[in-house]
Amino acid sequence: MNQVHLPTIGGSIEALNYDLIENRQWIGAVNQADILAPVFTEIKNDFGSPLVPFYGGIGAYSGTILGAFAGGKTDIRISQDIKFNGTTGLNVIATMVANDDTIGIKVKHLLSNDQFPNEVLSEPLNNLLLGNILTITNWDVSTLTAEDEFNNILNKMDANQTSLFIKAVIRKNGVVTEVDGKAWRKTGVFATSSKVIES
């Protein structure tokens, strides 16, 4: 979880700590009808950009956020991925990472094969995504440096907070960097006002 503890403006001055997001998530409901792209109703989005839907054909849909799924560290889950459809078979929803920008959703209806009992037939179907909850988790958060993360912290602070902080502690990928607030205010240079205190 991203936690930024900003310094207080009056009384004691707190250290500013920034804990890197350990993972980013998109969570939302998915609905699809007819030959239209799915509708993604966002519940949570740590990626900063919306998940853009696309209709790729019967039972084939996708969602895109540029660069969000890079690094091979993305997990996708969808609720009610297997449903019995009366006596006619099963509806199965499969999810996958298509590339660094896109996740895919495929919906199929599995049918028994009376002629060849050991084989299963499948056909893609629309109109089966009805409020399913889609969860996308990515652990490959960013390639930002500690200095980039520090600049992100500064962007969250107002002028009073910037003038008051004693230090910033940035924890990123097992490395802890400390920025001396007084030294940074004097020079404005990250390299000369910071040091690695744990790695």
Rounded to whole angstroms, the Cα distance separating 130 from 19 reads 37
Q: Which pLDDT tens digits describe the chain residue by residue (199 residues)? A: 344 444 443 333 344 444 444 578 899 999 999 999 999 999 999 888 999 999 999 999 999 999 888 767 888 999 988 877 665 667 889 999 999 999 999 999 887 666 666 666 788 989 989 999 999 988 755 567 788 878 877 877 778 777 877 788 777 766 788 888 889 889 989 888 888 887 7
> In which order are the strands placed within the sheet that holds 194-198?
3-4, 16-19, 167-172, 175-180, 194-198
User: pTM score > 0.85 for this model?
Assistant: no
Largest Cα separation within the chain, whole Å, is 81
Task: Kindly state the helix (H) or strand (E) to which residue 78 belongs, with its residue range.
Answer: strand 74-78
What's the distance, Cα to Cα, between the start and end of the chain in Å? 20
β 52-57/102-112 pair status: unpaired
